[in-house]
Each structure stands twice: as structure tokens, then as C-alpha cells.
Amino acid sequence: MILRIMFFALMAIGLLGFGTVAWISTRPPPPPPQAAAPAPPTKITVLAAARPTRAGSLLKPEDLSAKEITVDEKRPDMSPDTAEARRSLSGAMVRRSLSAGEPIRTGDVMRPGDHGFLAAVLGPGMRAVTVGVDAITGSAGLIWPGDSVDLILTQTLSDNGLPVGRRVAAETVLSNVRVIAIDQQLVQGAEANGSDNQARTVTLEVTPEQAERVSVAVRLGRLSLAVRSADSVPGKQLASAPNTTWAVDVSPALGAEAPAPSQNTMHVFQGSGEAKEFKF
């Protein structure tokens, strides 16, 4: 009896195990475990060239752009895109040609104030001459290194024997010369501190003859700068230098002759004698 009960119990256990195995075999296999998605690489923004820039050029704000790169691509000599970094690169000279979108590295530029900066910027046979201008005659801080400008001299003549319209004159001393350095406050476009007439300095690239002309001009009168278009090629004379412009050319009223004073005439007759004429 006991053996029979054990036999049926074993059969039941066997059938239960067989059914379990059959049920498991009919189930679809579990999906393979998915690998964890890799974390996206962290990106940072660095300064890059906004357009192709040739060696020897002076960087302007519009020459700089932001480029997003991964942390793995970051190099120690790349500059992060910050306002301070942009200011420090404005006016810097490019040592080698850069393509559009290429990150700017420390060794790619030479900044104003670096040893040998002016000598590296100047073309063969050229000179650097510095003139003083105030915030108004310096185009209100809107001139940047690399711009092409005209240098205009305005002077007042002290000869009282000259007509009024010939006592103030202006003429272009230099035409289409390149700015290679400028006072830092003007570079940043900041307002002048203190007096409105506080002098700033602008350094121009000129020939030896032009340097002599500037040396004389600073003794004659007030100097101001006129910015040329971006298409101007520094050093290339786009047009002949204008003639002297006198005050009367600007205001014809200064050359008008004064009207003759009006006079009244009276004729006096005495008897049969001739009339006498009196003017008053």
C-alpha cells in the first residue's frame, strides 16, 4: 500500500515537472539585456574665425565667432567664448591664415602690447606713426585696428588780413592708411573718462614720407579721422587727394560782401543860387 502511494506520488511529481518544462518551452525567450546608452559628450563653446582670415590681418569683432566642440576636442590653447576673450583678441594680428570656423589658438595671434607687435604688423619699408585724437575726432570710438582711414587736418589761420571765409581750412593729409593700434578705451567703444577733450592715441601704418607729413600736421592744427569703406585696400589710393576746403566753401555766407550803407540826400536852395547837396 505504501509502495503504491509512493509510486503515484512520484508519477504526480514527474507529470508536474514535465508540464512545467513544456510550459516554459512554449514561452518566448526573454529580450536580451540592453546596454546602457552612453552619456552624450559634454560640449563647450570656443572662439573661432568667422570667415577666412589671411596672415598679417588685424582681427575685428566681426572676425570672431563661437564654435561648439566636445570636451575631448578642447585644447589648452583655445579660448572660451567670453566677452573678455573677445576684447583681448580685438586688434590682434593673425600669425597664420585661418579658415572659417577654425578655432583660434594662442599661438595663432599676436596681441597689441606683445613684444615685437608693431614690427610684426608693419609691411616692408613702412613706419608706425602715432597721432593724438579726442573721442570726437577719433570717430567716437568706432575705429578699430585694421580699418582704413583718411587723416584730415583742420587749421585756423591767424592772419586778420584774410577774408573771413579764408581763415579756416581743411585738407586731407593722408589718404587710405591702415590703423594698426588704437587706445584701448576707443577699441572697446567706451566713453572717454574725464574731460571730453582728453587725448587718445591712434597708430597708423605710413611710408617714411607720410610720417614726415604727419609730424608737420600735428603742429599746424587739429587732426581727425574719416573711416573708409570695408572694400578699401590699405595703401592703395582710390582717388586723388581732395583740394583744400575753405570755410567759404562750406558756408557761402562767410564770403558775401557787406551791403553798402544806405545814405539819404537833401538838396538845399538858397535864393537863385545853385542847390547844395547834403548826404546823411
DSSP letter string over the chain?
A: -HHHHHHHHHHHHHHHHHHHHHHHHHSPPPPPPPPPPPPPPPEEEEEEESS-B-TTPBP-GGGEEEEEEEGGG--TTBPB--HHHHHHHTTPEESS-B-TTPBPBGGGEE-TTSTTHHHHHSPTT-EEEEEEE-TTTTGGGT--TT-EEEEEEEEE---TTS-GGGSEEEEEEEEEEEEEEE-HHHHTTPPPPS-TT--EEEEEEE-HHHHHHHHHHHHHSEEEEEEPPTT--TT---SPPPPPEEHHHH-GGGGPPPPPPP--EEEE--TTS--EEEE-
> Is the pLDDT score of 81 beyond 50?
yes
Domain assignment present for residue 112? The answer is: yes
> Is the pLDDT score of 186 beyond 60?
no
Q: Do 75 and 153 sit in the same domain of this protein?
A: no
What's the average model confidence in pLDDT over 231-251? 68
Looking at residue 60, which CATH number applies to its domain? 3.90.1210.10
Domain assignment present for residue 268? The answer is: no
Q: Do 110 and 135 sit in the same domain of this protein?
A: no
Q: Do 136 and 53 sit in the same domain of this protein?
A: no
pLDDT at 271: 62
Domain count, the chain: 2
Domain assignment present for residue 261? The answer is: no
Q: pTM for the whole thing?
A: 0.60
Q: Which domain holds residue 151?
A: 126-250
Report percent pLDDT > 90 for the chain: 28
Q: Do 96 and 45 sit in the same domain of this protein?
A: yes
Report percent pLDDT > 70 for the chain: 67
pLDDT at 50: 93
199: pLDDT confidence band, cut at 50, 70 and 90?
very low
> Is the pLDDT score of 51 beyond 70?
yes
> Is the pLDDT score of 193 beyond 70?
no
Domain assignment present for residue 279? The answer is: no
> Is the pLDDT score of 202 beyond 60?
yes
Name the least confident of 44-48, 148-152, 160-164, 176-180.
Answer: 160-164
Domain assignment present for residue 60? The answer is: yes
Q: Do 131 and 229 sit in the same domain of this protein?
A: yes
Q: Do 141 and 214 sit in the same domain of this protein?
A: yes
Domain assignment present for residue 204? The answer is: yes
Domain assignment present for residue 23? The answer is: no
